[in-house]
Amino acid sequence: MFQLMRGRCAFAAKLVLSVVALSTVLTSPVLAAGKTITAVMHSDLRVLDPIYTSAYISRDHGYMIFDTLIATDSNFKIQPQMADWKISDDKLTYTFTLRDGLKWHDGAPVTAEDCVASLKRWAAVDGMGQKLMDFTASIEATDAKTITLKLKEPYGLVLDSIGKPSSRVAFMMPKRLAETPPDKPIPEQIGSGPFKFVASEFQPGVKSIYVKNTDYVPRKEPASWTAGGKVVKVDRVEWITMPDAQTALNALQSGDIDFMENPAIEMLPTIEADKGLKTEILNKFGFQTGARMNFLHPPFDNVKVRRAALLAVKQKDVLDALIGDPKYYKTCAAVFICDTPFATDLGGETLAKGGDIAAAKKALAESGYDGTPVVLMAPGDVLTLKAQPIVVAQQLREAGFKVDLQATDSQTVVSRRASQKSPKEGGWNMFITNWVSADVVNPISNVAVGGQGKKGGWFGWAEDAKVEQLKDAFVRATSAEDQKKIAVEIQKEVYDQVLYVPLGQYQGPSAWRKSISGVIDGPATPVFWNMDKSE
């Protein structure tokens, strides 16, 4: 009974805070100025640098205020954005030419030097960027509008890397910001994109404000995913933090907000029955959810312990708790997404069959595990991240692990997972995250498939020379058949060393009021250009 009452009190407190936050925003005197779209995103925004972190809410923020040299359209084709390009006959030189009319939000012109510095900062921490730099001889500004990238040998993923639609995105920044070390956040939010960030109104935990960049010159092509003309049709966009999904739905129904990125699946019948609302899956390719272990500290510095944990995982239990309705989820052991050219179950057969607790117990007993608690970070403020840690923690306990499930918020996880300290010093052993399928569909884009270790590796810092060699072979492969064979070998290594644990795939509908039009679908993020609002 005490637990029940405490839960009700906590819900009531969150409800009050959400209502107070919404009331504060909606009574803001600035709100009345111009046409405004008010949205509840999947997470609160706290980390503003989309290169410093791979968190999707920071990527979404990046798309509001920054722009990219090139971009991906709805046919998966790379298109010009800030720049056009030419490729030399020997495939060793890529020349990017900036288009006219590009200005930073502070009024300064965008230069090639800015873009070179931005590419270097991005490439230092992004998996595809790092691999691109392995094949790059030089990248420099040859004049104010020209960026010249020279390769050591032909590399077929140059454009796919620079134009990738999701985290980390190669966003362009002024040189003074791009020279910030990538392990430190940039000090200003100055881009050249379609919106400007209103720093004076930013309230972490409450709201993030963007206004139309009236100096932005969009491309003439129709908007398509992250490519084409980024035409802003409203004066202002407000992201409102509202962690309680029911409160957000009530606000959507009442018209207090216009757009809700991630309503709970069980809310869909209510939304569909409301004639004033519309729901649609914007990311048709969906998401993969997965668990990442820390390779630097016990117990997961021991591969035998990692293998025992893998055996304990039951994807269906995780997905039932996360989504509930099988219409919107799929169990899948393919590291590179089911129903794609690189899909295979090889190495993940036990995962595909639903786990094996008995085998997990036996493997853990034989691993030398000494009872070291597994510190598993559990964000409670993001609907699509709340359930997985709770379910995985219970599965690990059933296998014999001691688990310290530490409740926190998602932005604390984003910050804390960058720490290489031991769990006793504020570090961690495991966290769970979600990727859009576009981020993990091949061995180069999938950041968890890496073995760079403490220097340059993704959070968890796996060190695996074999997987890095296989990735090099993948990018050198000259046929789709050869790439497929190598991708299978990479997946086998991923499961053998347990570089990470796929927990399944799912889709998440968004909802908005029918007064909103022009919502663009895509593989990455809800974008707010092209959106309009009728009065």
| Domains assigned to the chain | 67-178 (3.90.76.10), 287-506 (3.10.105.10)
**Would you say residue 302 has pLDDT above 70?**
yes
Question: Is 90 exceeded by the pLDDT of residue 2?
Answer: no
Predicted TM-score of the model (pTM): 0.84
- Per-residue pLDDT tens for 507-526? 989 999 999 999 999 887 79
The arithmetic mean of pLDDT across residues 452-456, rounded, is: 89
Nearest to 440 by CA among 92, 214, 182, 165: 165
User: Which of 21-30, 217-226, 303-312 shows the lowest mean pLDDT across its residues?
Assistant: 21-30
H-helix segments, 138-266: 158-162, 175-178, 245-254
Helix or strand or coil: residue 342?
A: coil
- Tell me: pLDDT of 503 over 70: yes
pLDDT for position 33: 58
Average pLDDT over residues 353-359: 96
pLDDT confidence of residue 4: 32
Which residues on adjacent β-strands are paired with residue 67? Answer: 172
Share above pLDDT 70 across residues of the chain, in percent, rounded to a whole number: 94
Exposure of 153 by Cβ count < 10 A (0-12 exposed, 13-18 middle, 19+ buried)? exposed
Tell me the pLDDT band of 6, cut-offs 50, 70 and 90. very low
Beta carbons of 487 and 442 less than 8 angstroms apart = yes
Write the pLDDT tens digit of every residue in 200-220.
Answer: 999 999 999 999 999 999 999
pLDDT exceeds cutoff 90 at 301:
yes
- For the stretch 261-299, pLDDT in tens is 999 999 999 999 999 999 999 998 899 999 999 999 999
Mean pLDDT of 27-45: 75
Read out DSSP for 116-152?
Answer: HHHHHHHHHH-HHHHHHHHTEEEEEEEETTEEEEEES
pLDDT at 26 over 90: no
Residue 7 has pLDDT above 60, yes or no: no
Q: Would you state the pLDDT for residue 535?
A: 72
